[in-house]
Amino acid sequence: MFHNSQPQHPDQLPRPGEALSTDRRTFLVASLGVGFALAADPVMAQVITTPADGLVAGEIKIPTADGQIPAYRAMPEGAGPFPVMVVIEEIFGVHEYIKDVCRRYAKLGYLAVAPELFARQGDPLHADVKTIITDIVPKVPDAQAMSDLDATVAFATAKENKGDPTRVGATGFCWGGRMIWLYARHDPKLKAAVAFYGILGGKASPPTAIKPQNPLDFGHDVTVPVLGLYGGHDDNIPPELIAQMQAELKGTASEVVVYPDAPHGFFADYRPSYRPDAAKDAWGKAQAWFKDHGMVG
């Protein structure tokens, strides 16, 4: 098993429901933008657009430990309560692709919500790739993200917001895929989770003071069933790291599926990396995973 030489205890992160100790109230993103992230250009013709008919969909504000962050929510019309799906963004923020994923889940009967977890550090929607990967993403502390995800779940499952507190799941992509593993360890009450090509560790994600551990360091301790969906041709996550993660998960409720010919971002229909066959199969596996673990009947 691969383990970080800088041991950290899970108690360094806030426990579920525990506020993040911070007095910072500077939010650089107060509301969500429209369309696709600037850094995602060009947007490919095969992009999937899910209509909002029959849904309640749009921007909301989520109260957090130190202010409000914007988020996108989509859910069916009706009284609920609905199973909750927390959707965690890529490095490009809560742009049109992430909003569409929320609507896809809402069409399946979920209350889907995607919080803008970069709100304090910067606006990836209007930034170039260099700014995103040097000045925004690496400055988001894991503890902050865990606290904001707790706040998202608390908001969605409040009685007036129609989310079922006994059926909460999560899915994430790229940066959000890494967060899925962290949040599954952080909140063992999650029913299930699905990580799409989340960074596992290695050279792509060295430990830092604000990101002390990676999934390879604690995969064996995750009790929430997590399905990892990875590409065999992912330049950011080499096959040897995926194999290490599979070994780390032996004896747990989690597993990793590899699409041998798929690159990083194979599910992102707006990008050249999109692989329709792998994406279709992965979507089916994700829905079966959530169903098998009690999210939907």
**In 10 A of CB 188, how many CB atoms?**
11
- How far is the C-alpha of 177 from the C-alpha of 183, rounded, in Å? 10
Alpha carbon separation from 13 to 60, 99, 150 (Å, rounded): 26, 28, 12
- At 169 the three-state DSSP class reads strand
Mark 138-166 as b/e (b = at least 16 C-beta within 10 Å).
eebbbbbbbbbbbbbbbbbbeeebbbbee
Could you give phi then psi for residue 232, rounded to 5 degrees?
Answer: -70, -15
Specify whether 174 is catalytic: yes
What value, to the nearest 5°, has the Cα angle with vertex 253 and ends 248 and 257? 65
Please, are residues 82 and 75 in contact by the beta-carbon 8 Å criterion?
yes
Q: Of these residues, 95, 186, 264, 293, which one is catalytic?
A: 264
- How far is the C-alpha of 200 from the C-alpha of 73, rounded, in Å? 28
What value, to the nearest 5°, has the Cα angle with vertex 28 and ends 134 and 207? 35
Q: Of these residues, 66, 123, 142, 234, which one is catalytic?
A: 234
**Going by C-beta distance under 8 Å and a sequence separation of 6 or more, which residues neighbour residue 182?**
13, 142, 145, 146, 213, 215
Q: Of these residues, 174, 186, 217, 269, which one is catalytic?
A: 174
- How far is the C-alpha of 94 from the C-alpha of 87, rounded, in Å? 9
User: What residues are labeled active site?
Assistant: 174, 234, 264
